[in-house]
Amino acid sequence: MQGTIIKGIAGFYYVLSGDEVYQCKARGKFKNQQILPMVGDQVVMEKREDGDSVIQEILPRKNSFIRPPIANVDCLVVVIAAADPEPNLTLLDRFLAMAEYHQTQAILCVNKMDLATEETRQQLYEIYGDLYPLVFVCGLTGNGLDELQQMVAGKRCAFSGPSGVGKSTILGRILPREQIETGEISEKTKRGKHTTRHVEIFRAGENTLLYDTPGFTSFEVLEAEEDELSQCYPEMLPLMNQCRYDNCRHLNEPGCAVIEAVEGGRIHSSRYRSYSGQLQEIRQRPRYQKGKKS
């Protein structure tokens, strides 16, 4: 039998196969080989009538992410809030770069439009409108969710983004009623806040799987190497052969086509700031420090 891991908690994996969900254990050999089954994995399992079923094999992954830990994603829906919390463009650009690094399509979803000023909408549209599919929604009123639903239909889409931006709220509204009971999708903390603790996949129609993921506020350094980072910023790609130096990192080199594009307003300065910040961070890694003279 084949199925998809939709949740993993405390050593158990929940595998969706057909219309059924099976509680499974992983075979011991995975632990020995240090292979960790991930939510989103396609697996071969053996159904046991008495007790837990067993995951026998993990099929090759199309892709996998470390944070959030998910596999086999067609599309990353990066959710931010127009306000509460305020958009953090540095963090947003990191999510988008991560999608690019994994060659995964990204959709930018701006939630809490009931709290947005026209200025915020304009600004986000200006920076991202040409770069990514962009949808403005409101998880409270449901505005814009039809459009979002069309964008995710027929795909495996992971909703990711900072904590508190409304990922679970949006999912709660677009999933079929039987898939989700209010409050089930996230745990209530002592302070009455619902916070997603585990990645979980929900089914929204025949071929549509939506992943809810825990939010986070900081970000680990992208696994990308120094010379790979510009490929994670799609607006820089067409300029790659136009810099004077082949190994140009687009920071302060003479004859840099990227810097010219920033100065000419063809690349948005906030995107460029994210790029250069991220590059500096990659350079802080021990590997890049070793060869340097002090």
Ligand X SMILES: Nc1nc2c(ncn2[C@@H]2O[C@H](COP(=O)(O)OP(=O)(O)OP(=O)(O)O)[C@@H](O)[C@H]2O)c(=O)[nH]1
Residue (54 or 180) nearer to ligand X, CB: 180
Asked if 158 and 76 touch (Cβ cutoff 8 Å), the reply is yes
120 binds ligand X (CB under 6 A): no
Residue (3 or 161) nearer to ligand X, CB: 161
- Residue numbers 209-248 binding Zn ion by CB under 5 A: 243, 248
Query: In 3D, which of 191, 189, 190, 171 has the Cα closest to residue 181?
Result: 171
Q: How far is the CB of 6 from ligand X (least distance, A)?
A: 17
3-state secondary structure of 240: coil
Of 33-41, 111-119, 146-154, 271-279, which part binds ligand X (CB under 6 A)? 111-119
Structure tokens at 96: 């988008």
**Residue from 149, 186, 274, 276 in contact with Mg ion (CB under 5 A):** 186
Query: In 3D, which of 92, 155, 160 has the Cα closest to residue 128?
Result: 92
Residue (8 or 144) nearer to ligand X, CB: 144
Q: Which residue has the tokens 């010379």?
A: 227
**Residue from 53, 168, 274, 276 in contact with Mg ion (CB under 5 A):** 168
* Interface characters, 133-172, with ligand X (x: CB under 6 A): -----xxx----------------------xxxxxxx---
State the Cα–Cα distance between residues 3 and 169, nearest whole angstrom.
27
Q: How would you class 30 by CB atoms within 10 Å of its CB: exposed for 0-12, middle for 13-18, buried for 19 or more?
A: middle
In eight-state DSSP terms, residue 177 is: G
State the Cα–Cα distance between residues 146 and 154, nearest whole angstrom.
14
Q: How far is the CB of 52 from Zn ion (least distance, A)?
A: 55
Q: How far is the CB of 231 from ligand X (least distance, A)?
A: 28
Q: How would you class 228 by CB atoms within 10 Å of its CB: exposed for 0-12, middle for 13-18, buried for 19 or more?
A: middle
3-state secondary structure of 205: coil
Residues that bind ligand X (CB under 6 A): 111-112, 114-115, 138-140, 163-169, 186, 194-196, 214-215
Residues that bind Mg ion (CB under 5 A): 167-168, 186, 196
